[in-house]
Structure 1
C-alpha cells in the first residue's frame, strides 16, 4: 500500500511539474484547466491560447518565445496555455480539434466568433506571435481622417452617446481597439490623428504635449463634446464608459468621479513596463533574439524611449501626476515616481528614461 501511495504522489507531482515547466515563475502566460478555459473566453475580448504537449520538443522550444509575445501583448490580449498531456485537459483539447503540437489559437471575441489558428509552424518567434495576435484584434474603431469630419460624425450619431479619441500616434492605439471591441454594439468609438495638436486647437482645446491623448464624449442627443478628465487607463476608461451606459448618474458626476481617481503606480506593473520597453528596443533592432541583453541595459538605466507611444501598461499618454490635497503645500513639487515611498531613486531614473 505504501509503495503504491508513493508512486501515486510522484505521478501527481510529475504532472504538476510538466504543467508548469513551460514558463518562468513570473510569466504572464496563465495555464488553463477546463474550468478556467471557459472563463478565459470573455465574449467581447481577444485572447491567445497555446495548446501544448509536455513531451513535445517543439513546444519546449516555442515556450520562451510565446512568453515574450505575452509580455508584449499585455494587458490588452491575455495569453494562456493548455497542457494537453494533463489527463484532465485531454477532452478539452479534442473538442478544440488539437491534432499537432503546438497549436496556437486566437479567439477574437471569446467564443462568439470562430478562433484563428496560427499557421507559422516554421517561424514560432516572439515577433511572429506578437504581430499575428495584435493585427487580428477586431477593428471596430471609426477613423476620422480630417477635423472637418468630426462634427458631421457627431451629428450623424447623436441619437446615442459616442466617444472620440484624439491621438498623436500614427496608428490607432491597441487600447482603443480593445475598448472598441469590448463595447461593440453598445458604444461607438472613433479615432482622429491629431499629430501636431491643430485639431485640438480647432475644437477649442490646448495643443497638448508630445504624448497627449484626449477623449471626447458626445452625449446622446448632443453634438457638443464633454472632455474626459480621468486616467487614460483601460480599467479607468471602462468604468467611465459603464457609468455612461448605465445611465444611473449624469455625465458630469461620472466625469468628476473619474477625475478624482488617484493613480498609484504598482511595482509589479512598473517592472512589466521596464521589460516591455526593453522588448520594444529589441524589436526596433531587428527582433527579440537579443532581448535579454536589452533588458539588462534598460534595467541599468541606459535605455531611451524609441517609440514615444507607450508607457505604464494599459495606459495611453503621459503617466498622471499626483493630485494635490488640501493639506499639500501650495508650493509643493509635482508628483514624480520618486514621491512614491515604494520606489527608489534608481527606479525614478529608469522610469524617466522610459516614458
Structure 2
C-alpha cells in the first residue's frame, strides 16, 4: 500500500510542529535542537532554555507565560526551548540533567558558566522575567558621584570605558546585558543623574535634561565621546561592538595626534584616520575636565534587584500587542500571569535606557 506523499511529509515534520504548537504565534521563543544549543552556548550572552515535551500538561500551561517573558526580555536575554521528545535531542537533555518537564535553566555566560535552574513552582511571566534579570553577571560599576569618575577611568585606563548617566536608580536591564556581553573588552559604569545636573557638571549639557546619556572614554584617555545614537539595545550593541574590536573612530584621539605632539604617556589611537566603521554611529566630542570637590553634588543611588512592580510593568508591556492564543494552546491556570491593563502597548519597553 502506498503512503501519500503529503502524509509522509506530515509525519516527518510532526515532532517540530508539535513543539512549535506549544508557543503562541509569532513568539520570541526560539525552538532549537542540539546543534542550535551549541551555537547559543558559544556566545557570552545570558540565555534561558526550557527543556520541554509537547505532551506535558505543565509545559502547555507554562508556554504562554514563558512566551510573554521572552517578549519582555528580548533581545537582551533570549529565551529558547528544546523539545526533549525528539530522539535527536534526547542526548542533550540527558547531558543537561533533565529529569522532568518542564526544566528551565539560565546560562549566565553561555557555556562558560554553570547553569542555574528555575525552581519556583509559580511559572509566571513575571517570575521568569525577575529571575532572568537577576541572573546577568554584568560587572557594572556603580559610581555615587562625579568625583569618582576620574578614579574609575584611571583604574581601567587600558580599555574603553562606557559610562551611563542614568535617569533611574537601578541598573537598566539593557546596561546589564551589554555589560555582560563586553565584560572583558569594555569597563562599564553607571552614575545616577535623575535631574540631569551631573551631566551639566561634566559639560555634556548646557541645561539639565532628564534623559539618560552614554559616554565613551577611549583607551588611555580621560576625555569622552558622547554616544548620540538611539538608546536601545541593537544600535548600542552595534556601536559598542565597534568600540570593543577597535574599529570605532574617536575624533578626540585623531585631533590630538594632528594638533599637538603626543606626550610619552598619551594614548595612541590604533585607528588613526581610518574611516568610521559601518557599526559606529555619530558622536559629539566633549572634553572631561577635573571637577572641584567644592562643586560636586552627589547623586546617591542604591543597588537593588528589580522589584515586583518593575517586573509586572515589563511583562504587561508585551501583552498589548500579543496576538490571540491559538486554540492548541490551553489557557494557563495555576501559572496565570499578571492581569492585562488595557490593549495599548507603551512606546518603549525594557529595550531602552
Residue 281 (structure 2) pairs with residue 258 (structure 1)? yes
Q: Which residues of 2 match residues 127-276 of structure 1 at below 5 A? A: 127-206=126-205, 207-210=207-210, 212-248=211-247, 250-252=249-251, 254=276, 257-259=280-282
For the residue of structure 2 that corresponds to 1:172, the secondary structure is coil
TM-score, normalised to structure 1, is 0.72
Q: Distance in 1 between matches of 2:25 and 2:351?
A: 22
Match of 1:21 in 2: 21
SS of the aligned residue for 1:2 comes to coil
**Alpha-carbon contact 2:68-2:318 (below 8 Å) kept:** no
Q: For structure 1, which segment, 156-165 or 65-74, has the greater mean C-alpha deviation from structure 2 after superposition?
A: 156-165
In the alignment, structure 1 segments of 5+ residues that lack a partner are: 261-272, 281-286, 300-304, 317-355
Question: Which has the bigger relative contact order, CA under 8 A and spacing at least 6?
Answer: 2
Cα displacement (A) at 1:290 = 2.2
| Alignment partner, residue 311 of structure 1 | 348
Aligned to 1:320: none
Paired with 2:315 and 2:117, the residues of 1 have a C-alpha distance of 27
- Stretches (4+) displaced over 6 A: 4-7
Alignment: residue pair count: 284
Q: Greater helix percent: which structure?
A: 1
Deviation at 1:33, TM superposition (A): 1.1
Q: Where does residue 290 of structure 2 map in the other structure?
A: none
Provide the residue aligned with 1:336 in structure 2.
none
State the 1:194 CA deviation. 0.5
Q: Deviations over 1:309-347 (max 9, x none)?
A: x8166332xxxxxxxxxxxxxxxxxxxxxxxxxxxxxxx
The offset of 1:7, in angstroms, is 6.8
Corresponding residue number in structure 2 for 1:324: none
1:240 and 1:255 in contact (8 A); partners too: no
TM value normalised by structure 2: 0.73
Distance change in 2, residues 1:216/1:99 (3 Å) = same
Q: Higher mean Cα deviation, 36-45 or 237-246?
A: 237-246
Q: What does 1:305-344 correspond to in 2, within 5 Å?
A: 311=348, 314-316=351-353
- The aligned residue for residue 277 of structure 1 is 317
1:110 alignment partner, SS class: strand
The CA RMSD over aligned residues, in Å, is 2.8
Q: Deviations over 1:8-40 (max 9, x none)?
A: 555335323311110112111111111211122
